Amino acid sequence: MNKSIQLDSLQLGVCYYPEQWSDSLWEDDFKRMKQMNLSHIRIGEFAWSVFEPQEGVYDFDLFDRVLDLAQQYELKVIMGTPTATPPAWLTHKYPEVLNVSIEGVTYQHGMRRHYNYSSPKYRELCANITRQMANHFKNHPAIIGWQIDNELNCEISEFYAEADHIAFREWVQHRYHTLEALNKAWGTVFWSQTYTDWEQVYLPRPTVSHSPNPHHVLDEKRFISDNTIAFARIQAEILREVAPHHWITTNGLFGHLDTHALTEEMLDFFSYDSYPQFSTISGNNEHKPLLDRKWSQNLSVVRNISNNFCIMEQQAGPGGWVNRMNMPAPRPGQLRLWTYQSVLHGADLVMYFRWRTATFGTEIYWHGLNDYHNQPNRRIAEATQVGEEFVSIGEKIAGTTYQANVAILKDYDNDWDGEYDIWHGPLTAKSINAWFKQLQYQHIPTDIIYLRHQTLEELQRYQLIIYPHAAIMSEQTAMLLTQYVEAGGTLIFGARTGYKDLNGQCRMAPMPGPVASLCGISVADFTSITGTIEAPGLLWKHNNKQIEQAAELFNDILHIQHDDVEVLATYTSCYYENAPALTKRSQGQGQVLYYGAAFNEAVVDELLSLLDISSPLVDWLELPEQVEVGIRQNEHADYVFLLNYSDQPASIHAKVPRTDILTGTTIDGATTIPAYGVMILQS
Ligand code: GAL
């Protein structure tokens, strides 16, 4: 069971920056929040120079007044520790706290997140401000919880200050104990990279062709994650000690951080920052992109960390910094749609970012609910509607959880190794996109699961598991997956599975390594599909259907090792024309499929139909592609969310009558969901 936020009803809130506004505005702001049914605010996370204007001099007056006013308006407050924004006095006096690029350029004061996690001085100063704040605010009745830092590893997730090299060296010593073990794990005999003294070990530094040792690079990512967690732990321990009656969370999902471990080790639940428009401004060059709906992929990962979570920042308007991240304005209806997108995936507390658009600084185009002019606008009207709806449906939905029969598996080792390794990283990104998209279009709710220490029982919940290109795979994982298949599951692998061990070294064994015997195949030959080489087509055996240029990015040419392996498709061109590209083998109660390429949409569609995987709602609900469907459930009811991402109305057909709890109307037969509209059907 993962750690979830515990609320009796859905709650809405907003991020607020009192230090950026005249105090004459505060009361009107809080009054209007209250009128809009916003019950929570987050404050403080960037205000270090207000809290501690000079080293050792504290001034909590501004926030004391804000908290008293919040209490008066019955707003619950989440207090942020301000460690993402060290003040000028701090970095000026202690420049060793600054982060440094791999080239050795020091990131200076003037932005945020310009610090490193390793500097003992920075850790001391962060511990100090956290303790001062915790002691000062612990008894204020308005405060309910804390956010540690802000978006750990956002903006930048690599650190090369002197202190980082030292911390890495210690981490490596702790991990390997002996230089011999380190040299073995990193394969340093290759190109005479052998280390003979710990002092020779650094984080990767600039190298010829920017190509450091790949095993070293993988360990760098593991170190960054552990080091980020260690940095956060200092604050978590202080907050637990001083304010044990408050909960602790942090926000955002960023690179080189095992957010599952972070949450498990020190948080009460995880919080996420949801900006679906990021997906709209990227990924437009593919066929039928999911656009803002693709954000559900991230929300599915969040769900895997906390079934019920907080959205600490929900996009509230057009986004953009002065110089980057240029986003269009959300269309009328989209803010509400995106709020329910978060709720569908498990958010029980949704905080808009931010109350009012900043009139100065880097984020003058990152719009809050209110515009600069502070007059009523359509975004306020939309959030007001959501506030009313949360009051009416909130108790039903809070605490219910998302239901899925299909899971896509991921893991941090392959994520991190795949960032550097061009022979498997790009395959994973492409395949997960294709699977997620087609499952969305076919209305099949899907979980994204990070493989950590799951039990067989946890996997058995799924009828189908796709583990696309797990290059790194332990024997233990292979055993768990074998048991899953034997117990009745359907498991699908993609090209490049299982050829690396946990150090990222290639196994001297036929591919796909530890799952070769499960799949009953070996990879006889293989090629990257690159440059001018055209992806071969696939010929499906069950219907003689041919898909042109289907086998993309990489081709494993499969050799059948057992009679009971069925060839589902063969390659249609290249020197391996007619060779097996896709196989299936029944094992125990279940079946395992191996596909020798990266998955694309056409291949996924064919597989879903071949395996007869369909929407759990197929018997009673007809939906067009443009609608995302998902179910939040408890022991009493199912709540079927229908989210229309299109600017056109969606025609749906309910074969059994169901109540839309947002409007109280009964949906029976044909009806339409308006453009960007939402329905929640209870059954
Ligand atoms: C988040 C961050 C916020 C704000 C927002 C818009 O990443 O936590 O402080 O910067 O993005 O850029």
Asked if residue 285 belongs to a known ligand binding site, the reply is: no
Superfamily of chain region 11-174+226-399: Glycosidases (3.20.20.80)
pLDDT reported for residue 199: 98
Which of the four CATH numbers 1.10.357.10, 3.40.50.720, 3.40.50.880, 3.30.70.20 does domain 406-610 have? 3.40.50.880
Q: Whose CA is nearest to atom 10 of ligand 1?
A: 363
The ligand 1 atom nearest the CA atom of 353: 5
The pLDDT, as a whole number, for residue 1 is: 65
Confidence of residue 190 (pLDDT cuts 50, 70, 90): very high
Chain segment 515-535, per-residue pLDDT in tens: 999 999 999 999 999 999 999
Distance 204 CA to ligand 1 centre (A): 29
Which residues' Cβ are closer than 6 Å to ligand 1? 150-151, 154, 273, 313, 353, 363, 366
Mean pLDDT on 145-174 = 98
Give strand pairing partners of 168: none
Q: What pLDDT, in 10s, does the model give residues 375-415?
A: 999 999 999 999 999 999 999 999 999 999 999 999 999 99
CA distance 63 to 48: 12
The CATH T-level fold of domain 621-682 is: Immunoglobulin-like (2.60.40)
Give yes or no for residue 98 having a pLDDT over 70.
yes
Give the pLDDT confidence of 38-50 residue by residue, as tens digits.
Answer: 999 999 999 999 9
- Residue 203's pLDDT band (cuts 50, 70, 90): very high
- Residue spans of the domains in the chain: they are 11-174+226-399, 406-610, 621-682
Residues 6+ apart with CB under 8 A from 282: none
Token duo for residue 238: 């202080």
Asked if 354 contacts 10 with a C-beta cutoff of 8 angstroms, the reply is no
Nearby residues of 612 by Cβ (< 8 Å), 6 or more positions away: none
pLDDT bucket at 285, cuts 50 / 70 / 90: confident
Give, rounded to a whole angstrom, the gap between the first and last alpha carbons of the chain. Answer: 25
Q: Which residues are catalytic?
A: 151, 313
In sequence order, the 6+-apart residues with CB closer than 8 A to the CB of 565 are 519, 520, 521, 583, 584, 585
pLDDT digits (tens, 9 = 90+) for 543-589: 999 999 999 999 999 999 999 999 999 999 999 999 999 999 999 99
Average pLDDT, the chain: 98
Residue 112 in marked binding region: yes
Task: Kindly report the protein residue whose alpha carbon is nearest to atom 9 of ligand 1.
Answer: 150
CA atoms of 246 and 146, how far apart (whole Å) = 7
Reference 138, options 67, 197, 227; nearest CA is 67
Ligand 1 midpoint to CA 112 (Å): 11
Ligand-binding annotation for 321, yes or no, is yes
pLDDT at 284 over 90: no
Mutate to test the pocket of ligand 1, among 314, 353, 354, 367 (most ligand atoms within 8 A of CB): 353
Contact 538, 569 (CB under 8 A): yes
Pocket test for ligand 1, best of 153, 273, 295, 356 (most atoms within 8 A of CB): 273
Tokens of 424: 């498997």
Strands 401-402, 627-633: pairing kind: antiparallel
The per-residue pLDDT for range 304-342, each reduced to its tens digit, is 999 999 999 999 999 999 999 999 999 999 999 999 999
Asked whether residue 283 carries a pLDDT value surpassing 80, the answer given is: no
